[in-house]
Amino acid sequence: MAASVAAAVGGLRRAIRRSPSWRGPSCRPLSSEPPPTKATAVRDAFLSFFRDRHGHRLVPSASVRPRGDRSLLFVNAGMNQFKPIFLGTVDPRSEMAGFRRVANSQKCVRAGGRHNDLEDVGRDLSHHTFFEMLGNWAFGGEYFKEEACSMAWELLTQVYGIPEDRLWVSYFGGDPKTGLDPDLESRDIWLSLGVPASRVLSFGLQENFWEMGDTGPCGPCTEIHYDLAGGVGAPQLVELWNLVFMQLNREADGSLQPLPQKHVDTGMGLERLVAVLQGRRSTYDTDLFSPLLKAIHQGCRAPPYLGRVGAADEGRTDMAYRVVADHIRTLSVCIADGILPGMSGAPLVLRQILRRAVRFATEVLRAPPGFLASLVPVVVETLGNTYPELQKNSAQIANLVSEDEAAFMASLQRGRRIIDRTVQRLGPSDVFPAEVAWSLSMSGDLGFPLDLVELILEEKGVKMDPAGLARLAQEEAQRQAQQAEPVEEKGLRLDVHALGELQRQGVPPTDDSPKYNYCLQPSGGYEFGTCEAQVLQLYTEDGTAVASVGEGQRCGLLLDRTNFYAEQGGQASDRGYLVRVGQQDVLFPVARAQVCGGFILHEAVATEYLKVGDQVQLHVDKAWRLGCMEKHTATHLLNWALWQTLGPGTEQRGSHLNPERLRFDVATQAPLTSEQLRAVEITVQEAVRQDEAVYMEEVALAHTAHVPGLRSLDEVYPDPVRVVSVGVPVAHALDPASQAALQTSVELCCGTHLLRTGAVGDLVIIGERQLTKGTTRLLAVTGEQAQQAREVGQSLAQEVEAATKRLSQGSRDVVEAQRLSKDIGRLTDAVDTAVMPQWQRRELQATLKVLQRRANTAIRKLETRQVAQKTQELLQRHSEGPLIVDTVSTESLSASIGVRGGPRVWGGESANRDSWEAGDCRVTTFPLCPGAGEGGPTAV
């Protein structure tokens, strides 16, 4: 009997550890009872329960865009917005500082980063990239385990009416390796609430101990599970609610220390709860998704949704339903919160989500063009009353989805043709060439992430080449590092002999004027034209001229004309791809372009045979080019702002930019102060806010002479020369009588620029250092990166303010003071390394330096007081006798106390010591001998 019970419990433990997806036919009800409530009523019942019955304050959901949290791409849990409270860094002046018991429904996205469910969405019946987390919190010991468990049990069984015999609970069973005791308190609470001992299971660290990160607050958790089987056969348990009891802190050395204040943090997924209450086997069969699934069926030519998975889902039709329904919810929520599809970080993940949805909608469900955007109103109708930002931004959401969908449709067809053609040429055991997959993923306007290529290949039963992809990824990382801090690159170059041969043959310099052929559309986006050219010459990697190159060969292409910007003037080279004219399904990725004696050499990989004389069509990576344009215009504004702030004696000494950041070297009379750095940013922000036009024109070099305020570098310029002027037409700017160049940015520049300054968005100087005496190097970011940098700075400033308040309040004991000192040290490291405004970094560093000194002084005073108290205790305890020896244990100081009538020695040797009179005895203190730690030797 005991063995069978143990086996059953072991099976349940394995079931919980697996966190199984919903099983069985998705539309089969869990019970014969009709669905009790709609999802909106379930959500409302949760919130009103905690507000009306238990006095919780209802707080709105935070944006899914993390504010100042450097560790997250998206908000992925209800507790994210309350991290400052858990860490003790909440701004004492903020509203959050007064929170004691709160509840809410938090929008969460789990895609990319540490918690990534993107690849699982659609494959089963439960995973989502967007979901809602219902949670209640108690801060600072407002209530703890007993109240939290009782409230949860009351809500589930009395309000929602879930049968008690369908609920199981788990608790932390301890961990002997780390010395953590089992959470018997939680176990006993559940037993007292009437849960049978057979349905109360214990688990270890992985299942029932929750940690915020590598360091920080943590503690045991207890989970409530629902039995899908309902007593028929073996239990099938899914987690409903997780109650975390934060009572410990993980220190930097890995040790665990009790928190001075305890907190309760709970989370329950709304989608799963609604599935249980509506008697559904799948979260997709609830009314949170059924309107979307119905709209998808009505708008496509696909058969109705049947909830099938795996091999039963022929043609992956039901998987496509789930992908599209989930992804349009995620897209709508993210765009409403200001995360737009882009090329890095969270925007890149969102871009992948959008294009994954488009692909399933068009290729599997046979949806018409523009279909995805037509689902936005359904999402707004379903969620808009709870999250009004969806209603407010519904038109913008639909427009952005529609634009990106249209842009991806053409590239999807081309990418599919490239993959199909490549697969047809493979042998039965061949892997898909890494170069082809990489070229698709790196061509920004094609927008084919590797996971999408892999998904298409999976459908065809073809595998990618992982080793080849790893090699290409490493090469790309090296290239990015070189662009961040440019050095002399090794690569294809035309040496003096190759250039001489071209000149002997009478080959004219490359016509690169098409690089300036772009325009601003009424929608605000940029349109970049393609360029047709002829291959004049091919070069191998060692610079040898050849008539043709074969598949997989790296080569240099010399064309008669190009729309690629070759690296010069501090601007990074364009990248993109070219195709043969008339053969659009063979892609030749171009990694960079460089100027060699007036000729533009394109570095490319030949995915097929290519020869001299071929006609090709060139496509620049639009996102990459736009990023360079944004940074280059920002560089001009930065140059102007420095001139305005520091005076006419300020001179540019060099710059370099790519889509990630810009670097600017400037000659100054003295290092920039924090106030000057901040003033420079404000000047740039003003120019961006005014959204001024940017004028570009080629003029005779002589016309630029003697123009007051015109900025240029000490180098040779071509004639005619290109002039870039912000806010003022070039002709007016160059008129010496106008003085316009003294009032705005006017520079000689061959780079590509935005056509209006507003697209810069913002500029933040994130780094500053002296290169040489009189020359300062500045690093800056723009746009979304700048906004994130400001948010990180604000978040760290609030943490420093909270640390200041903690220090001013004083510490009760040495342990508390040491914890504060460590927190200040952690903050100092964070401020030193964070991407944040440099002026703010300097101010916080100065404040933290003072705080660290004060904290160390406070520790010494507390330790001294501790020693004195221990001394008095010893004197009272040993009032008589010739010699008494004892030790006082502290973390940073162990003091030995000798009270005498005899010689004061340690280990037989004289000791350096300080002495003072204490009553009628003489007390001597001295440090422990080398190597003695806390509680060290006591023998004399």
Which among 584, 750, 581 is positioned nearest to 655, based on CA atoms? 750
Looking at residue 923, its pLDDT comes to 44
Rounded Cα gap, residues 739 and 647, in angstroms: 16
Encode pLDDT of 686-744 as tens digits: 999 999 999 999 998 888 887 877 777 666 778 888 999 999 999 898 887 888 888 89
Looking at residue 840, its pLDDT comes to 96
Query: What SS3 string covers 512-544?
Result: CHHHHCEEECCCCCEEECCEEEEEEEEECCCCC
Structure tokens at 122: 């659609």
Query: Does domain 39-278 correspond to CATH entry 3.30.930.10?
Result: yes
Write the class of the CATH domain 496-620.
mainly beta
Looking at residue 490, its pLDDT comes to 55
Rounded Cα gap, residues 711 and 645, in angstroms: 15
Looking at residue 762, its pLDDT comes to 95
Q: Where in the chain is the domain with CATH 3.30.930.10?
A: 39-278
The CATH homologous superfamily of the domain defined by 626-786:
Threonyl-trna Synthetase; Chain A, domain 2 (3.30.980.10)
- The answer to whether the CB of 588 falls within 8 A of the CB of 579 is yes
- The answer to whether the CB of 145 falls within 8 A of the CB of 244 is no
Looking at residue 234, its pLDDT comes to 87
Which among 259, 246, 267 is positioned nearest to 144, based on CA atoms? 246
DSSP one-letter string for 303-343: PPP----GGGSGGGHHHHHHHHHHHHHHHHHHHHTT----S
Encode pLDDT of 594-622 as tens digits: 998 889 999 988 878 899 999 999 999 88
Binding-site positions read 632, 636, 749, 753
Looking at residue 881, its pLDDT comes to 63
Q: What residue type is assigned to position 686 of the chain? A: E
Encode pLDDT of 796-822 as tens digits: 998 899 889 888 888 878 888 888 888
Looking at residue 144, its pLDDT comes to 96
Looking at residue 244, its pLDDT comes to 96
Phi–psi pair at 190, nearest 5 degrees: -65, -40
Looking at residue 891, its pLDDT comes to 52
Looking at residue 940, its pLDDT comes to 29
Which among 239, 262, 237 is positioned nearest to 249, based on CA atoms? 262
Looking at residue 288, its pLDDT comes to 96
Containing 182, the helix (H) or strand (E) segment is: none
Residues of the chain with pLDDT under 70: 1-36, 113-116, 442-447, 479-491, 713-715, 880-940
> If 0-12 CB within 10 Å is exposed, 13-18 middle and 19+ buried, where does residue 397 land?
buried
Instruction: Please state, as a whole number, how many other Cβ atoms lie within 10 Å of the Cβ of residue 809.
Output: 10
Q: Where in the chain is the domain with CATH 2.40.30.130?
A: 496-620
Q: Evaluate the omega torsion of the peptide bond into residue 449 and state whether it is cis, within 30 degrees of 0.
A: no
Looking at residue 629, its pLDDT comes to 96
Which among 422, 364, 442 is positioned nearest to 603, based on CA atoms? 442
Q: In the chain, what is the greatest distance between 2 CA atoms, to the nearest angstrom?
A: 110
Average pLDDT, the chain: 84
Q: What residue type is assigned to position 873 of the chain? A: E
Q: What residue type is assigned to position 511 of the chain? A: D
Q: Where in the chain is the domain with CATH 3.30.980.10?
A: 626-786
Which among 41, 103, 77 is positioned nearest to 274, based on CA atoms? 41
Looking at residue 927, its pLDDT comes to 42
Please report how the helices 783-809 and 814-833 are oriented relative to each other, as an axis angle in degrees rounded to 10. Answer: 160
Containing 565, the helix (H) or strand (E) segment is: none
Binding-site positions for Zn(2+) read 632, 636, 749, 753
Q: How many residues does the chain have?
A: 940
**Nearest-10 Cα torsion for 878, 884, 889, 890:** 90
Structure tokens at 496: 């003096």
Looking at residue 56, its pLDDT comes to 97
Query: Running DSSP on this structure, what letter comes out for residue 618?
Result: E
**Nearest-10 Cα torsion for 671, 675, 680, 685:** 160
Containing 853, the helix (H) or strand (E) segment is: helix 838-877
Rounded Cα gap, residues 335 and 376, in angstroms: 11
